[in-house]
Amino acid sequence: MATKSAAAVRLAVESALAGRVIAPFQYHERRVLETASTGVATVDALTGGLPRGGLTEIFGPAGSGKMSLLVSALAARTQAAEVCALVDARDAFDPETAAAAGVRLERLLWVRCREIAQAMRVTDLLLQGGGFGMVTVDLSDIAPRLVRHVPLNVWFRWRRAVENTRTILLVIGQESHAKTCASLVVRLQCEATQWASAVENTQQTEAHLLDRRKSTVEKIREKKQTQGVLMMLSDAAADFVSMETRSAGKYGTGFAKPLVKSCKG
């Protein structure tokens, strides 16, 4: 059997990959990894910021500070004149609170969904359309057992959709699900909460308002670019910082002496 020449083999491979891979034998130099601020200095120092052209996962239990970090990132990006999209899987977003925290609502596309399947379809359309500085998918109010049923190829498809773009893809949830598709994985845990009395006379009611919260931000996984060519995956479970957030100004600061309670229990 005659041995095929290198040119013939190359032609055969290019023909087989036609329409699926553009110029498979052409070297494409990787772009230098670009990041954007989360709006929280300590988190930026830990993570280097949110990677553009990649998928970032922020996860943690309820009350851990995920939404506070999300609102901070939205405020930072919209104030930088970027248009952002928020896919709200359970219609739980409060625009009034977000505006009080600095989010420019005129630069935010808020998509209100009722179920996870609808959120998946909307995210696909937004990523295919492009043009957003940041696309956020809020799955924090979706039961983790339902998110586990999302096929792995969905996360790969989303990651490929933002590659070589300046779009930040941010996924918020109770657990991490994107696995190796994520460029950055961050876990939040609540350390302590500080409550203020809702009224000046505490004998009138036992109601209290959340005044501030202290959370631990832990970097679980990060993909780094080395010398502009190689991508390395590093596990960084030992890296963490503390983040403190306060309630939005629309709720005031409460009355009397605040109560300090642990988040556990």
For residue 52, the model assigns a pLDDT of 96
Q: What is the pLDDT of residues 14-64, one digit of tens each?
A: 777 666 655 656 655 555 679 999 999 999 999 999 999 999 999 999 989
Q: Spell out the domains of the chain, with CATH numbers in brackets.
A: 29-190+215-245 (3.40.50.300)
The sign one gets for the Cα dihedral 258, 262, 264, 265 is negative
Of the candidates 139, 172, 197, 184, the residue with the CA atom closest to the CA atom of residue 68: 172
Strands (E), 168-249: 168-173, 184-197, 208-226, 230-246
Q: Report pTM.
A: 0.77
Q: How far is CA 220 from the centre of its chain?
A: 14
43-74 exposure pattern, b = at least 16 Cβ within 10 A, e = fewer:
bbebbbbbbbbbbbbbbbeeebbbbbbbbbbb
Token pair recorded at residue 5: 């020449």
Q: What is the pLDDT of residues 212-254, one digit of tens each?
A: 788 899 999 877 654 443 344 444 444 788 888 776 555 444 4
Q: What is the pLDDT of residues 175-215, one digit of tens each?
A: 999 988 999 999 999 988 777 776 665 565 566 677 778 88
For residue 233, the model assigns a pLDDT of 45
